[in-house]
Amino acid sequence: MRALPLLLLPVVLAACTAAQPTTITPDPEADRLRADVQRLRTENERLRRIAERPAVEADCPMPEEAYRGQTVEVLLSDLLFESGSADLTPAGLQRLDEVAARLKLSFAGRRVRVEGHTDTQPIGPSLRTQFPTNWELSTARATTVLRYLQEVHAMDPARMEAVGMGAFDPVESNATAEGRARNRRVRIAALPE
């Protein structure tokens, strides 16, 4: 009798294996979950690489020199221009010739930024038609200097910019005559390469 169960064992096993499906049907939910896991692994790796970068202070402003350039020369407007004017004086032309030589010698190939600055004194009534505010006066002065450097010293105008700052970047208090005189200026800078 004991032989009978042993003889039936291969038949039972064959029947069990025949009942098993031979192909696995795809499970869309499992495929979606596998794709999600892979996406999350990729995102985790990307975030890990970012976290390993050197820390940068989020509130740290860009260094001023990065966008305003390295100061080459600051010229007082009282030397360059008559009061309320954007026309260069003879002394101003001579100083600009010196600055142009320095730009060509020490800053060749660099972009040049010319900034015009004023004090806080309002434009007088006789000049308001030409310069309604200090913005216009500072911009006209910066443009005059730029054009002189371009036209007389053959500096590439595509590598130059003129910026009118008005009275909004003072270096001294506007409460005194001396402070106002220092605030009326033209700054010439070489921009980073």
* Stretch 20-29: mean pLDDT: 70
CATH number of the CATH domain containing 126: 3.30.1330.60
Contact 79, 91 (CB under 8 A): yes
* Per-residue pLDDT tens digits for 102-157: 999 999 999 999 999 999 999 999 999 999 999 999 999 999 999 999 999 999 99
- pLDDT (0 to 100) of residue 37: 83
Q: How far apart are CA 90 and CA 80, in angstroms?
A: 8
Map 36-61 to HEC letters. HHHHHHHHHHHHHHHHHCCCCCCCCC
117 token code pair? 């600055």
Check residues 161 and 33 and name the one with the higher pLDDT: 161
* Stretch 175-193: mean pLDDT: 96
Most confident of 11-25, 41-55, 124-138: 124-138
pLDDT band at 5 (very low <50, low <70, confident <90, very high): low
Residue burial 6-35, b: 16+ Cβ < 10 Å; e: rest: eeeeeeeeeeeeeeeeeeeeeeeeeeeeee
Domain limits at 159? 69-190
Q: How far apart are CA 123 and CA 16, in angstroms?
A: 102
Report how far Cα 86 is from the mean position of its chain's Cα atoms.
Answer: 30
Give the CA count within 13 Å in the CB-facing half-sphere of 41: 6
Looking at residue 84, the DSSP 8-state letter turns out to be: T
Answer whether residue 144 is part of any domain.
yes
pLDDT band at 3 (very low <50, low <70, confident <90, very high): low
Answer whether residue 58 is part of any domain.
no
- pLDDT (0 to 100) of residue 26: 76
Q: What percent of the chain has pLDDT over 90?
A: 63
Contact 147, 140 (CB under 8 A): no
Check residues 139 and 57 and name the one with the higher pLDDT: 139
Evaluate if pTM is beyond 0.75.
no
Contact 137, 144 (CB under 8 A): no
Answer whether residue 25 is part of any domain.
no
What is the number of domains present in the chain? 1
